[in-house]
Homo-oligomer: A and B are copies of this chain.
Amino acid sequence: MGPLDTLDTPCVLVDLDVADANIVRHQAYLTAHGIAARPHIKTHKTVDLARAQMAAGAVGITCQKLGEAEVMADAGFTDILLTYNIVGAPKLARLMALHARIAIAVVADSAAVVDGLAAASRDPARPLTVLVECDTGARRCGVADPGLALALAHRIQAAPGLAFGGLMTYPPNGGTAAVEAFMAEAKALLDAAGLLCPRVTSGGSPDMWRAHEAPVVSEYRAGTYIYNDRSLVERGVCDWADCALTVLATVVSVPAQDRAVIDAGSKVLTTDPMGLTGHGHVLGRPDLAIDRLSEEHGCVQASDGAVRLSVGQRLRIVPNHVCVVSNMVDRVVALRDGAPVGELAIAARGRVT
């Protein structure tokens, strides 16, 4: 019997030794380059791991939704950047409740969002910090050019209950140079206008080792780096041995020589393709591909046509994208020295608002 043999499957494993090493390594890199670390908790959604990130030297955490920030504030975190446009009365009320308790900063990329925040936060003695989100090429949210960033910074600064907190971007993969170009130009415009820019924050694990190539960036928000995943290995950012999160699955059917079926489907691995073919990497069996998922089944094929698996056998899988896997389960099994030592609650799972 191996140490994982008694676990029921499918289950999500987090090797804490690997996660700790990932945290320490990237923190050391950022520290060496004078960049503040503000890890994104969306990847793990777990209080204990956010604490480990703070203990390693992070200046605070990043959340993507108010519900995540509420969970983390309840757990004692006092410095949170919420990298999301907060829109609508229910969310603005929740944001102000958080603002009354902790240091929370948000972002905005339009006058409409700033005006909503300004209407909700009116106390000049306790202004809400708002950063301007900039689109440095990812084509998601963000103002499209540095001139618009300046205009929005002015609008924030002009609101009595808001304080301009700097510039924020989530760059496209390979976008470090684009970040530097956009942000340096925007910062120069702010400087020329006499507007203090307290920070420039960028993020993303795909280019996490190139953060220093954009010297304008003062803070970095990586999420996936704590676990790593197949998408990062395939990009050459890390190795399989650096992958802290894996899915343990059992073969439940081998209906043909060329096909096996495992009990991990889209309800665990998710269908997030991340630009990859197949739905995860089977550790120790690079000849296998998980080529089809339904909710509770994963269909496995082999490159040479012979899967060589039997019912009851177990596979350990590195998912394409770990962040979305964390959100599929209420808890994960924590490993030390390769053996289960308990469970971690995914406290912020499913917080979509």
Chain A interface (Cβ within 8 Å of chain B)?
6, 8-11, 42, 64-65, 84-85, 87-88, 90-91, 109-110, 112-113, 116, 135, 139-144, 250-256, 259, 261, 263-264, 266-268, 270-273, 292, 294-297, 299, 310-312, 323-324, 327-330, 350, 352-353
Contact A271 B273 (CB under 8 A): yes
CA distance A324 to B312 in the complex (A): 26
Residue numbers in B under 8 Å from A116 (CB-CB): 312
Contact B353 A139 (CB under 8 A): no
User: Within the complex, which residue of B142, B292, B312, B352 is in contact with A296, where a contact is CB–CB below 8 Å?
Assistant: B352
Chain B CB count within 10 A is highest, among A254, A295, A297, for A295
Contact A8 B90 (CB under 8 A): yes
User: Within the complex, which residue of B139, B267, B328 is in contact with A259, where a contact is CB–CB below 8 Å?
Assistant: B139
Q: How far is the CB of A40 from chain B (nearest CB, A)?
A: 10
Q: A8-B91, A271-B270, A296-B84 are in contact. Are A255 and B352 (CB under 8 A)?
A: no
Q: How far is the CB of A225 from chain B (nearest CB, A)?
A: 16
A89's nearest neighbour on chain B, judged by CB, is B6
Which 4 residue pairs of A and B lie closest in terms of their CB atoms, listed nearest first?
A: A112-B311, A8-B90, A85-B252, A141-B253
User: Within the complex, which residue of B8, B254, B267, B330 is in contact with A88, where a contact is CB–CB below 8 Å?
Assistant: B8
Q: A267-B352, A311-B110, A350-B330 are in contact. Are A255 and B296 (CB under 8 A)?
A: no
Residue numbers in B under 8 Å from A135 (CB-CB): 255
CA distance A264 to B328 in the complex (A): 16
A256's nearest neighbour on chain B, judged by CB, is B144
Residue numbers in B under 8 Å from A144 (CB-CB): 255-256
Q: A140-B261, A141-B261, A310-B112 are in contact. Are A84 and B252 (CB under 8 A)?
A: yes
Pick 9 A–B contacts, CB within 8 A, sort by A: A42-B295, A84-B296, A87-B250, A87-B263, A110-B253, A110-B311, A141-B252, A266-B270, A267-B324
